[in-house]
């Protein structure tokens, strides 16, 4: 239980911070909207590199890092 408690607060803080950043990215207008749309249009629709860290393989491995690849 202590391991869970030790990971919970930083993970929760990171989830909230990440949500705020994505909210800012998604709710832009003008030139920023054009740039965002251009960048996202060219991404693979199956690429969750920056958004699967809370739920993907990294989370299952217990490290929750968006840049850690876990071979499976």
Q: What is the largest CA-CA distance in the chain?
A: 48
- The residue among 23, 18, 3, 31 whose CA lies nearest residue 65 is 18
State residue 7's pLDDT score: 85
pLDDT tens digits, residue range 25-38? 999 999 999 999 99
Confidence (pTM): 0.63
Q: Residue 18's Cα: distance from chain center in Å?
A: 6
What's the Cα-to-Cα distance from 38 to each of 2, 41, 46, 56, rounded to whole Å? Answer: 45, 5, 17, 26
Q: What is the DSSP letter of 56?
A: S
pLDDT tens digits, residue range 26-70? 999 999 999 999 999 999 988 888 888 888 766 666 655 544 443
């Amino acid at each position: 239980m202590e391991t869970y408690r030790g990971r919970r607060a930083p993970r929760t803080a990171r989830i909230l911070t990440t949500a705020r950043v994505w909210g800012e990215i998604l709710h832009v207008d003008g030139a920023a909207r054009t740039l965002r749309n251009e960048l996202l249009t060219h991404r693979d629709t199956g690429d969750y590199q920056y958004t699967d860290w809370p739920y993907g393989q990294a989370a299952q491995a217990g490290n929750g890092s968006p840049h850690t690849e876990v071979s499976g």
